[in-house]
């Protein structure tokens, strides 16, 4: 029986549960002997002119160097249309922006020395919100003349909604959140006698990091080696490398010392990129029978102080219509800069925002016409016979069974019974209201149009070494790829090693993000294994004196088809004879479109505003499942993180641009008692766009769960006159919404 | 100052600064790096170890306070002959970890939880692990792992 599709415990885990992983901070390699410790001095104010005096710090015990912008001789680097300095150069633009780098002999000397760096901050007017940015009263980059640094779409038809019986419009805030992987950012680096830099980095992507660092330092990419040790979570925020890594590489060269760097959690919360931060205005119109005729989405992306990642708002536009077939669709986006931490990818990156907007819009429309939200969705779904389907915004969906996914979760959740229970509570005046939230979603995975590398080698003893360009950090991809190869090659799992994350071993790769690893990295290794099997079959044919076409691979040995008695040849025998290896690039790169439906059940205490998430029932269809254990784990994690955004997570700033949630004591990380047991419903709709038929699962459940939970909270309050409230649905927000609704009634 | 701590059965004596935290002593002086640091506010639990058998967040204890006491870290959990502790085994069987960064602290907190309550309900497990954050798993399988380790039914 094939191992693929069975629940296999992870090969990664033994080390992790007995010795812990080897994260950057755990490295005890020889090249780092005598390494100095590094700390960045970061701005405590949002917008100011700065002058730095390092002289006192240089006298402090153990200080090896203090570097500022004046010392750096690196070419400037761009963030979108503007220059983002490596270290603040004359002006700081957000709390947390690096101003100076301190190197000391001992770790405990860092904070003392950093305190002695004398920075004079001469305050400038602060742009702390999207509204302030749009007003252009204060402009962050005077050269640009405006805070709006990217605009797309927006050719709107005044008559777009003329045929509609009902039109609803609403501005929906998709709040800023912190990716906050449990392992903060860290790096270590050392220059070798050969003039090459080795950089150990907590990143999702060694190869892109190498390119960024080499470019930043102005050296050839072959002179930089990036190694990712174990990585304690990334969630999109560790896709590439941040400016800090370039500065560290430069400082190591300048000081002639290896360097270790790890930030603190408080630093991480203000200085690692944040996610979401969109303000989305939806206009939805249609007939009273539930048919939607027109939809408009206007995205405003808060890009933070430096517009590092401008694809988020356009990806939101691309996925704007979700799982629905709407006759008329219009979108636009703007990205504005503010005096806040830069925004970049966070689990889902652009798609959760699109889904949150359309799924909230569907509920607003359903409420307006008085039709059940499940029914309104059914009426407007793209139907199975319409695939492949090109959406009005240009996305080419491969396969989908949207109505089936919704029906499955509604049945598994007992939707009719829950609605009856809701009505009963309402009638009896129960102060604890029940809310049901639905979200049906489609997600784009491998959407970067790139491929991935895969290299395979049969060792002389018949064991297998595989090199993948993907770079997992908790997804269990080692196990998944090992299972696929074991199945394909007939070699036991313990004889297969998967290697990744070292640019000397895997020079060409795109890496792990956008839920691309299995569909692209897995397909690459499938292709490499196919080639190696062909090579082996030719060799075996010689030995068995048969035609290669008549030779087949059975249980890890080659034999003549239909004549097993005539002998067989093992992988080891063949690998001794000749090199069996293949190095491929799986370049198809067409994205795939996983989909699903989530049903959330919440209880809201209408006296206190407290929301309790009681149940989440989820159907997440990403095609064939290789390892149900890892697949479910990805869904669990996504459900937890997505629900957390709806319920409690937010990165807040005051009007002066001071972050008010800059420690884990203030930033509401979701904990075990706040989440329910997850109820998973399975469904597998394959794609034809890669060799495995698989789609990505890493982000899917995050995308569906946020609007499901959000919709559930609003639904709980709907009988009291609440139509909408923004996330996170904290007790205060709920209570305020109830108070306003009561006043209006 | 000189500090002597028995860590996983071996006494480690080192001269350290007064302000040295237990977590740094364990990682740097004893060279045991499984215990991780995830925050600076005693919020995440990644640094959880057992101090005289009770779970503590080792980022909030001075090495000096542990002077003369007994500390157990993840590395010290395996039995004679290298057998996995039931909690270690259960985390693997139930996929109670993804990136693994929270895992040493999570396992130590779970060991302590089961010491005090050998047959917890799922809710008691959730409440008992409130001080330990995990960003990857959504906690479902962590709860399963603790239930499994206590010989109770899991919900896959
Ligand atoms: S590092 Fe000790 S609680 Fe976070
Ligand atoms: S497994 Fe990654 S933080 Fe828990």
Nearest-angstrom CA–CA distance, A683 and A661: 39
Nearest-angstrom CA–CA distance, B43 and B99: 19
Task: Choose, out of A15, A19, A20, the residue to mutate when testing the contact with B (most B CBs < 10 Å).
Answer: A20
Closest CA to A657 of A119, A126, A88, A120: A126
Q: Is A13 on the interface with B (CB under 8 A)?
A: yes
pLDDT at B55: 97
Q: Render pLDDT for A347-384 as a digit per residue (tens, 0 to 9).
A: 999 999 999 999 999 999 999 999 999 999 999 999 99
A697 close to A620: Cβ distance less than 8 angstroms:
yes
Q: Three-state DSSP class for A216?
A: helix
Count of C-beta atoms within a 10 Å radius of residue A158 = 6
Is the pLDDT at A745 greater than 90, yes or no? no
Residue in the block written with tokens 């005693």? B42
Buried b (16+ CB within 10 A) or exposed e, A721-731: ebebbbbbbbe
Is the pLDDT at A565 greater than 90, yes or no? no
Sign for the pseudo-dihedral over CA of B42, A270, A349, A453: negative
Nearest-atom index, ligand 1, CA of B47: 2
User: Residue A522 carries which DSSP code?
Assistant: I
Buried b (16+ CB within 10 A) or exposed e, A367-379: bbbeeebbebbee
Min distance A684 CA to chain B CA atoms (Å): 18
Nearest-angstrom CA–CA distance, A416 and A323: 23
A253 close to A197: Cβ distance less than 8 angstroms:
yes
Buried b (16+ CB within 10 A) or exposed e, A26-60: bbeeeebeebbbbbbbbbebbbbebebebeebeeb
Distance A435 CA to ligand 1 centre (A): 36
β-strand partners of A65: A103
Please, which pLDDT band fits residue A589 given cuts at 50, 70 and 90? confident
Q: Which residues contact B90 (CB under 8 A, 6 or more apart)?
A: B96, B144, B145, B146, B148, B149
Please, which pLDDT band fits residue A418 given cuts at 50, 70 and 90? very high
From the list A233, A476, A663, the residue facing B41 with the nearest CB is A663
A622 close to A694: Cβ distance less than 8 angstroms:
yes
Please, which pLDDT band fits residue A138 given cuts at 50, 70 and 90? very high
Helix (H) or strand (E) holding A530: helix A523-544
Is the beta carbon of A474 within 6 A of some atom in ligand 2? yes
Nearest-angstrom CA–CA distance, B26 and A680: 40
What are the backbone dihedrals phi and psi of residue A452, each rounded to the nearest 5 degrees, phi first? -155, 155
3-state helix, strand, coil in chain B (%, to 5): 35, 15, 45
From the list A26, A266, A636, the residue facing B137 with the nearest CB is A636
Please, which pLDDT band fits residue A744 given cuts at 50, 70 and 90? confident
Is the pLDDT at A566 greater than 90, yes or no? no
Please, what is the average pLDDT of chain A?
96
Count of C-beta atoms within a 10 Å radius of residue B87 = 24
Distance B102 CA to ligand 1 centre (A): 10
Give me the mean pLDDT over the A407-419 stretch: 98
A364 close to A707: Cβ distance less than 8 angstroms:
no
Nearest-angstrom CA–CA distance, A670 and B64: 33
Task: Choose, out of A16, A24, A644, the residue to mutate when testing the contact with B (most B CBs < 10 Å).
Answer: A16
Q: Render pLDDT for A178-187 as a digit per residue (tens, 0 to 9).
A: 999 999 999 9
Interface contact A23-B36, CB threshold 8 A? yes
Count of C-beta atoms within a 10 Å radius of residue A655 = 10
Whole-complex ipTM? 0.98
Nearest-angstrom CA–CA distance, A676 and A38: 41
User: Which two structure tokens, joined as six digits, stand for A401?
Assistant: 């069974």
Parts of chain B with a pLDDT under 50: none
pLDDT at A726: 96
Q: Render pLDDT for A438-484 as a digit per residue (tens, 0 to 9).
A: 999 999 999 887 899 999 999 999 999 999 999 999 999 999 999 99
Which one of A202, A204, A230, A233 would you pick to mutate in the ligand 2 pocket, going by the greatest count of ligand atoms within 8 A of its CB?
A233
Nearest CA to ligand 2 atom 2: B99
A489 close to A529: Cβ distance less than 8 angstroms:
yes
Q: Three-state DSSP class for A51?
A: strand
Interface contact B101-A181, CB threshold 8 A? yes
User: Which two structure tokens, joined as six digits, stand for A635?
Assistant: 């869904």
**E-assigned strands of A555-689?**
557-560, 568-570, 580-586, 595-605, 611-621, 678-681
Is the pLDDT at A588 greater than 80, yes or no? no
Q: Render pLDDT for A501-548 as a digit per residue (tens, 0 to 9).
A: 999 999 999 999 999 999 999 999 999 999 999 999 999 999 999 999
Interface contact A19-B24, CB threshold 8 A? no
Closest residue in chain B to residue A680, using alpha carbons only: B156
User: Which two structure tokens, joined as six digits, stand for A33?
Assistant: 């002997």
A615 close to A717: Cβ distance less than 8 angstroms:
no
| Cis bond upstream, residue A16 (ω within 30) | no
User: What is the rounded end-to-end Cα distance, in angstroms, of chain B?
Assistant: 51
Which of 41-60 (B) contact A at CB < 8 A? 41, 43-44, 46
Strand A275-286 versus strand A166-177 pairing type: antiparallel
From the list A18, A180, A231, the residue facing B88 with the nearest CB is A18
Work out the percent of chain A whose per-residue pLDDT is above 70: 100
A330 close to A296: Cβ distance less than 8 angstroms:
yes
Q: Is B62 on the interface with A (CB under 8 A)?
A: no
Which of 644-683 (A) contact B at CB < 8 A? 663-665, 669, 671-673, 675, 677-678
Which one of A182, A475, A630 would you pick to mutate in the ligand 2 pocket, going by the greatest count of ligand atoms within 8 A of its CB?
A182
Closest CA to A106 of A170, A165, A63, A50: A63
Which of 226-245 (A) contact B at CB < 8 A? 230-233, 235
pLDDT at A563: 85
Sign for the pseudo-dihedral over CA of A86, A87, A89, A93: positive
Give me the mean pLDDT over the A714-739 stretch: 96
Min distance A19 CA to chain B CA atoms (Å): 5
Q: Render pLDDT for A297-319 as a digit per residue (tens, 0 to 9).
A: 999 999 999 999 899 999 999 99
From the list A23, A663, A675, the residue facing B138 with the nearest CB is A675
Contacts of B123 in chain A (CB under 8 A): 673
A354 close to A319: Cβ distance less than 8 angstroms:
yes
Residue in the block written with tokens 């364990």? B26
Q: Render pLDDT for A639-668 as a digit per residue (tens, 0 to 9).
A: 999 999 999 999 999 999 999 999 999 999
User: Which two structure tokens, joined as six digits, stand for A518?
Assistant: 């299995």
User: Which two structure tokens, joined as six digits, stand for A645?
Assistant: 């955004």
Please, which pLDDT band fits residue A42 given cuts at 50, 70 and 90? very high
Distance B45 CA to ligand 1 centre (A): 5
Interface contact A233-B99, CB threshold 8 A? yes
């Amino acid at each position: 029986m094939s191992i693929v599709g069975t629940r296999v415990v992870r090969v990664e885990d033994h080390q992790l549960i007995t010795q812990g992983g080897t994260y950057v901070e755990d490295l005890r390699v020889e090249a780092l002997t005598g390494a100095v410790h590094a700390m960045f001095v970061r701005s405590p104010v949002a917008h100011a002119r700065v002058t730095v005096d390092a002289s006192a710090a240089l006298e402090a015990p153990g200080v090896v160097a203090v570097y500022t912008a004046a010392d750096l001789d690196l070419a400037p680097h761009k963030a979108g249309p503007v220059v983002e300095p490596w270290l603040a150069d004359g002006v700081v633009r957000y709390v947390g922006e690096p101003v100076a780098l301190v190197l000391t002999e001992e770790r405990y000397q860092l904070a003392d020395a950093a305190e002695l760096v004398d920075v004079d901050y001469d305050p400038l007017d602060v742009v702390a919100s999207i509204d302030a940015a749009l007003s252009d009263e204060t402009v962050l980059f005077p050269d640009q003349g405006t805070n709006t640094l990217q605009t797309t779409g927006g050719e709107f038809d005044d008559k777009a909604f003329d045929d509609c019986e009902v039109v609803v419009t609403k501005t929906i805030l998709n709040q800023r959140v912190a990716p906050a992987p449990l392992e903060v950012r860290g790096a270590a680096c050392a220059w070798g006698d050969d003039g090459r830099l080795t950089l150990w980095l907590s990143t999702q992507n060694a190869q892109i990091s190498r390119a960024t660092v080499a470019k930043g330092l102005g050296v050839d990419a072959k002179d930089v080696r990036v190694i990712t040790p174990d990585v304690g979570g990334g969630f999109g925020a560790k896709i590439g490398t941040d400016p800090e890594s370039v500065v560290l590489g430069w400082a190591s060269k300048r000081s002639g010392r290896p360097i270790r760097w790890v930030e603190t959690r408080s630093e991480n919360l203000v200085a690692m990129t944040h996610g979401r931060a969109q303000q989305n205005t939806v206009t939805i119109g249609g007939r009273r029978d539930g048919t939607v005729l027109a939809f408009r989405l206007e995205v405003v992306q808060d890009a933070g102080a430096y517009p590092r990642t401008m694809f988020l708002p356009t990806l939101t536009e691309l996925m704007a219509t979700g799982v629905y077939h709407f006759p008329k669709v219009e979108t636009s986006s703007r990205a504005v800069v503010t005096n806040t931490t830069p925004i970049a990818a966070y689990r889902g990156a652009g798609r959760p925002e699109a889904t949150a907007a359309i799924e909230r819009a569907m509920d607003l429309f359903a409420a307006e016409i008085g039709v059940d939200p499940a029914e309104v969705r059914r009426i407007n779904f793209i139907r199975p016979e319409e695939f492949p389907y090109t959406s009005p915004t240009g996305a080419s969906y491969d396969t989908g069974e949207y109505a089936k996914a919704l029906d499955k979760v509604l049945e598994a959740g007992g939707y009719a019974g829950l609605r009856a229970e809701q009505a009963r509570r309402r009638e009896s005046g129960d102060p604890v209201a029940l809310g049901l939230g639905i979200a049906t979603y489609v997600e784009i995975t491998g959407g970067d149009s790139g491929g991935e590398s895969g290299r395979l080698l049969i060792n002389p003893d018949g064991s297998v070494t595989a090199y993948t360009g993907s770079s997992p950090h908790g997804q269990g991809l080692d196990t998944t790829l090992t299972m696929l190869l074991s199945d394909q090659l007939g070699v036991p799992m313990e004889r297969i090693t998967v290697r990744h994350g070292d640019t000397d071993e895997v020079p060409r790769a795109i890496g792990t993000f956008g839920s691309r690893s299995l569909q692209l990295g897995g397909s690459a290794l499938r292709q490499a294994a196919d080639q190696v099997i062909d090579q082996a079959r030719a060799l075996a044919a010689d030995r068995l004196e048969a035609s290669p076409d008549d030779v087949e691979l059975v249980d890890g040995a080659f034999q003549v088809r239909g004549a097993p008695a005539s002998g067989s040849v093992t992988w080891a025998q063949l690998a001794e004879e000749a090199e069996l290896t293949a190095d491929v690039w799986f370049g198809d790169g067409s994205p795939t479109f996983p989909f699903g439906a989530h049903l959330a059940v919440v209880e809201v205490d209408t006296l206190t505003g407290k929301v309790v998430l009681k149940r989440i029932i989820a159907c997440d269809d990403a095609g064939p499942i290789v390892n149900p254990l890892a697949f479910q784990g990805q869904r669990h994690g996504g459900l937890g993180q997505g629900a957390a955004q709806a319920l409690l997570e937010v990165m807040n700033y005051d009007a002066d641009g001071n972050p008010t949630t800059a420690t884990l004591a203030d930033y509401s990380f979701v904990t075990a008692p706040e989440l329910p047991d997850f109820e998973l419903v399975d469904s597998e709709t394959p794609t034809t766009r890669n060799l495995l038929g698989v789609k990505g699962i890493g982000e899917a459940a995050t995308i569906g769960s946020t609007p499901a939970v959000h919709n559930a909270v609003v639904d709980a309050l709907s009988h009291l006159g609440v139509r909408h409230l923004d996330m996170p649905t904290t007790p205060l927000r709920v209570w305020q919404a109830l108070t306003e609704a009561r006043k209006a009634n | 100052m000189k500090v002597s701590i028995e860590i996983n059965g071996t006494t480690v004596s080192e001269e350290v600064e007064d302000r040295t935290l237990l977590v740094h002593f364990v990682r740097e002086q004893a060279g045991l790096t499984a215990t991780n640091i995830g925050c600076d506010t005693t919020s995440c639990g990644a640094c959880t170890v057992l101090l005289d058998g009770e779970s503590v967040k080792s980022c909030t204890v001075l090495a000096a306070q542990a002077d003369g006491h007994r500390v157990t870290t993840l590395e010290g959990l395996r039995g004679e002959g290298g057998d996995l502790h039931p909690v270690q085994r259960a985390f693997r069987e139930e996929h109670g970890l993804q990136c693994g960064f929270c895992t040493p602290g999570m396992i130590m907190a779970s060991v302590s939880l089961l010491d005090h309550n050998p047959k917890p309900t799922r809710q008691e497990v959730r409440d008992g692990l409130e001080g330990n954050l995990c960003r990857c798993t959504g906690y479902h399988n962590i709860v399963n792992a603790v239930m499994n380790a206590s010989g109770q039914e899991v919900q896959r």
